């Protein structure tokens, strides 16, 4: 359906005229970018020295999308990056529905619910947990579309270059996780055979006190052992693709090592209590176990993140408190405590979008859930303004078609 530009333009302007737009920190050092409903290009290299200038621009020009640079510049309005003079940049984590398996089969509400689960994991486990940022350092923003952003403007991250930011991404996603590091090899014994010495090696298991990825691999090993105990070889091959091509004989032999009892002690108990993989009688069994951990178990613990956004030191990110042109929802800043109960289709609907009824048209049956109510239009119908703006921004309905 063709975009209802007059409707969106009218109500976006009403929002910007009534809302106090809080500019980002050090906004005078930032570059701004804007896209409009009736033009196909982005306006770039724009800077503001006062918050009132930004507010007046939004009311006067009514952009469909508003962005600010994650970077700080000496001359933010300069026409080229070289002339701007880079001073540093916030560290940004962006996560939206593109990172969800099966997102194409989810409704908008389902995508929003699931991406929030993944984002909370990113914030709590990695940003606040492993990386040690204080809760107040992690500025959370609902993007107004299909996901969330985390802005970190702490001085210790602002000077990081792209390579260093990429290392942060690799840590969060577990990219390049080294099993030799997580399970270091050690000599268990050496035996003399005539004129040669045979060295037997095993691998240490991270202790229960281990944190970060070592702790995750300890937990992953425990989960893998439980999975091996309760699943048949064919089920294991289906659930753990790293075992593809491994015979029933080998899998059963590993299971005997792990789950049989010798002198009243099970192999798994010996494995976890001694803190090494000696319970697996053959070196190739240990190697196979690590292969499964690396390829199939470690990905279960990784954090999701849009990698190019975090590593980019000159990125544009959505302006908090602006409106998203494809939904009409507010780009909403949140505290960590607010995030748990935040519902975008309830809490990101601008108050400026009233209950005033509007006649709308659709091309066939369309429906959406907004503020806990299901709205359906089949050809022609009536919607409160807040629902009409949302559905018009998503090209589901239009007031321009009403006879």
For residue 399, the tally of other CB atoms under 10 A from its CB is 19
Are the beta carbons of 377 and 396 closer than 8 angstroms? yes
Q: Rounded CA gap, 356 and 334, in Å? A: 28
Tokens describing residue 279 = 């319970």
Q: Rounded CA gap, 107 and 113, in Å? A: 10
Nearest one of 284, 270, 279, 295 to 217, comparing CA atoms: 295
Question: In Å, how far from its chain's centre is CA 48?
Answer: 30
Q: Where are the beta strands (DSSP E) in 147-282?
A: 147-152, 185-193, 196-203, 261-262, 265-266
| Burial zone of 189 (CB within 10 Å; 0-12 exposed, 13-18 middle, 19+ buried) | exposed
Q: Rounded CA gap, 259 and 261, in Å? A: 7
Residue 195: enclosing H or E segment and its boundaries?
A: none
Residue 316: enclosing H or E segment and its boundaries?
A: strand 316-318
Q: Rounded CA gap, 358 and 227, in Å? A: 56
Alpha-carbon radius of gyration of the chain? 27
Are the beta carbons of 184 and 178 closer than 8 angstroms? no
Instruction: Give the total residue count for the chain.
Output: 403
Active site residues: 94, 96, 306
Q: Rounded CA gap, 378 and 258, in Å? A: 61
């Amino acid at each position: 359906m063709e975009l209802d530009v007059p409707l969106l333009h009218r109500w976006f302007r009403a929002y910007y005229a009534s809302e106090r737009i809080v500019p980002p920190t050090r906004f005078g050092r930032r570059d701004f970018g804007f896209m409009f409903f009736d033009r196909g290009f982005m306006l770039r290299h724009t800077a503001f020295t006062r918050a009132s200038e930004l507010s007046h621009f939004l009311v006067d020009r009514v952009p469909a999308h508003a962005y600010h640079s994650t970077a700080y510049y000496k001359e933010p309005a300069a026409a080229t990056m070289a002339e701007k003079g880079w001073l540093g940049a916030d560290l940004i984590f962006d996560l939206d529905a593109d990172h969800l398996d099966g997102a194409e089969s989810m409704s908008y509400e389902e995508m929003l619910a699931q991406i929030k689960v993944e984002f909370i994991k990113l914030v709590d486990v990695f940003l606040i947990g492993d990386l040690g940022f204080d809760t107040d350092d992690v500025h959370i923003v609902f993007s107004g579309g299909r996901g969330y952003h985390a802005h970190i403007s702490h001085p210790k991250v602002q000077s990081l270059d792209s390579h260093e930011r990429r290392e942060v991404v690799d840590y969060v996603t577990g990219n390049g996780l080294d099993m030799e590091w997580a399970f270091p090899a050690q000599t268990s014994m050496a035996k003399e055979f005539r004129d040669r010495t045979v060295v037997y090696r095993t691998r240490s298991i991270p202790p229960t006190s281990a944190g970060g990825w070592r702790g995750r691999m300890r937990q992953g090993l425990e989960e893998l052992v439980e999975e091996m105990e309760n699943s048949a070889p064919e089920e294991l091959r289906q659930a753990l693709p790293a075992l593809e091509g491994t015979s029933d004989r080998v899998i059963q032999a590993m299971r005997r090592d792990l789950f049989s009892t010798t002198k009243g002690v099970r192999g798994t108990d010996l494995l976890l209590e001694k803190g090494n993989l000696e319970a697996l009688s053959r070196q190739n069994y240990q190697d196979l176990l690590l292969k499964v951990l690396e390829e199939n178990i470690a990905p279960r613990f990784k954090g999701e993140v849009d990698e190019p956004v975090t590593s980019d030191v000159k990125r544009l990110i959505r302006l908090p408190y602006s409106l998203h042109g494809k939904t009409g929802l507010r780009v909403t800043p949140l505290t960590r405590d607010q995030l748990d109960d935040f519902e975008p289709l309830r809490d990101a609907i601008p108050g400026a979008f009233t209950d005033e009824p509007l006649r709308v048209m659709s091309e066939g049956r369309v429906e959406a859930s907004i503020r806990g109510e299901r709205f359906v239009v089949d050809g022609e119908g009536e919607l409160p303004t807040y629902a009409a703006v949302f559905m018009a921004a998503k090209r589901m309905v239009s007031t321009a078609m009403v006879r």
